Structure 1
Amino acid sequence: MPRSPLPGFRLALGLTLAYLGVIVLLPLAALVLETRGMGAARFIAVVTGDRALAAFRITVLAALAATALNAILGLALAWALVRYEFPGKRLLDALVDVPFALPTAVAGVALTALFAGNGWYGSVLEPLGVKVAYAPLGIVVAMAFTSLPFVVRSVQPVLQDLTGDYEEAAETLGAGPWRIFRSVLFPEIFPAFLAGCSLAFARSLGEFGAVIFIAGNQPFRTEIAALLVFIRLEEYDYQTAAAIATVLLAAAFLMLLVTNAIQLWRLRYGRPS
């Protein structure tokens, strides 16, 4: 066996686990432990309060809508970047990563300026009865903007690795373009597509900076759960903030667990042997 240029397995694994524990696991454990002093009754009362439930509902519904939008647009964008050549392709490919590099607060200010009543988009949409800024739709727009790259960058490498052999074989058997995509191509990219959508949904659940500028932050209408956590922290109510954040954390973990289970099932039973 050739000698690896990297450190030995035990050293590499130890450093990785130590880093993961300090950076990820300890903060999450501290968050969960903060709620232990509340007691089960108070915890349930906090997370099932009218304002908390409204914030959870707004957050989840907006995240689902943003993820559904990105599932369609992200897949289409990844397909165009891989399968077609056109002027400005490299620039468009680079622009996909802008939401990763752009501070979310800057994104929120930019989106608010565009969709406000006197903005470039808002001045056209609001006379048509479509209000985005300071409305629930603004939350969806902000979440979609910040989470789009997850879908594109998850699907794009898989599409690049697919050769045209499958498509040519299906075409010779009489399959049309839609059936080739539905029965041949999409099953191949489905695990990556599902992973990208899951990451986009998880990012949308926790989005804060971009949303608070465009949403208006009205309780029971445009107040998201992350903002409610921030408000409770400003009030020095750390346990209540931790309780609400723990629910978001549990939702994200549950979603990732279900996604991994679906991917595992598809790898084992979803393909012909």
Structure 2
Amino acid sequence: MTTSPLSPSQPSWRERLARFAKVSWPWRITWFYLVVLLVLPTLALIANAATLTPADIWRIITDPVAVSAFEVTFVTSAVATAINGVFGLATAWVLVRYEFPFRRLVDAAIDLPFALPTAVAGLTLATVYSENGWIGSLLAPFGIKVAFTRLGTGLAMMFITLPFIVRSVQPVLQEMEKDIEEAAWCLGASNWQTFWRVVLPPLLPALLTGLALGFSRAVGEYGSIVIISANIPFQDLIAPVLVFQRLEQYDYAGATVIGLVMLAVSLVILVAINLLQAWGKRYD
């Protein structure tokens, strides 16, 4: 016997519409807000890129300037995030495990990159690390130039990504009991063995989540980097700045394709963050 189109297992469109009409208003408002704010702009970017032929898309992606911008963006972001992974973990450890004067002030200062406008951050870094700045003038005699180089780009990325690592690891450290570490010491474990086998495993999901968040933030940074970098192709030009340059040149196709690549990378990072958070729940 064939199943009727209007069988109980397959509700009609009128029944589905009636169910949707019974949905609460907060649910509708939430979905409307998300669609307008996130879904439609994303679909618009994809639709604009779909008007190009695959050959045109490949030509724009493989353009030497674009390839160099992608390399500067992703490699520098990865290096800056890795450095902050080490020092961010150490900073979170000190803030949680040690008492010292002005600890709360230092703890609050960690969130400064969140509150500080990115343009102001770039201007501050460029002023301090320029050849005439407080720190740049000390490095200049050694031939080290920070501002308006790729090193300055990495410095700006480190500045804006540090809070993500610290704030991801800090709550986990606060919930960890010191008795476990003391038990490991009583059993003859060294400080390094205790950290590697006892402390790090519960911290690893939170640390990886912070690294993923920091990397995604560094990849999309524009305001501070456009000021502290020279923005020269094949040197320190990053992909977000290249998008703006293409728009200034009325190259909307090039800007759209480069933006689509950045969108794809962001989606991959988003999936990775969700997987890491799901993994971290095993230690809750």
TM over 0.5: yes
**In structure 2, distance between residues paired with 1:187 and 1:14:** 41
**In structure 1, distance between residues paired with 2:162 and 2:66:** 27
Q: Deviations over 1:220-266 (max 9, x none)?
A: 11111000000111222222111101111111222332454456567
Q: Which residue of 2 aligns with 1:192?
A: 206
| Counterpart check, 1:92 vs 2:111 | no
- Check the 8 A contact 2:205/2:279 in 1, yes or no: no
- Check the 8 A contact 2:213/2:273 in 1, yes or no: no
Pair 1:12–1:164, CA change in 2 (3 A): farther
Identity of aligned residues (%): 46
Amino acid at match of 2:183: A
| Counterpart check, 1:137 vs 2:157 | no
| Counterpart check, 1:77 vs 2:88 | no
The Cα of 1:147 is off from its aligned counterpart by: 1.1
Q: Which residue of 2 aligns with 1:68?
A: 82
The Cα of 1:23 is off from its aligned counterpart by: 1.5
| Counterpart check, 1:45 vs 2:59 | yes
Q: Which residue of 1 aligns with 2:233?
A: 219
- Check the 8 A contact 2:212/2:272 in 1, yes or no: no
**Structure 1 segments of 4+ aligned residues over 6 angstroms from their partners:** none
**In structure 2, distance between residues paired with 1:65 and 1:33:** 33
Pair 1:57–1:183, CA change in 2 (3 A): same
- Report matched runs for 1:1-273 at 5 Å: 10-261=24-275, 264=278
Unaligned runs of 5+ in 2: 1-21
- Check the 8 A contact 2:126/2:147 in 1, yes or no: yes
- Check the 8 A contact 2:84/2:165 in 1, yes or no: yes
TM-score, normalised to structure 1, is: 0.90
Amino acid at match of 1:257: V
Secondary structure of 1:118's partner? coil
Secondary structure of 1:209's partner? coil
The Cα of 1:164 is off from its aligned counterpart by: 1.4
Amino acid at match of 1:118: N
Amino acid at match of 1:158: V
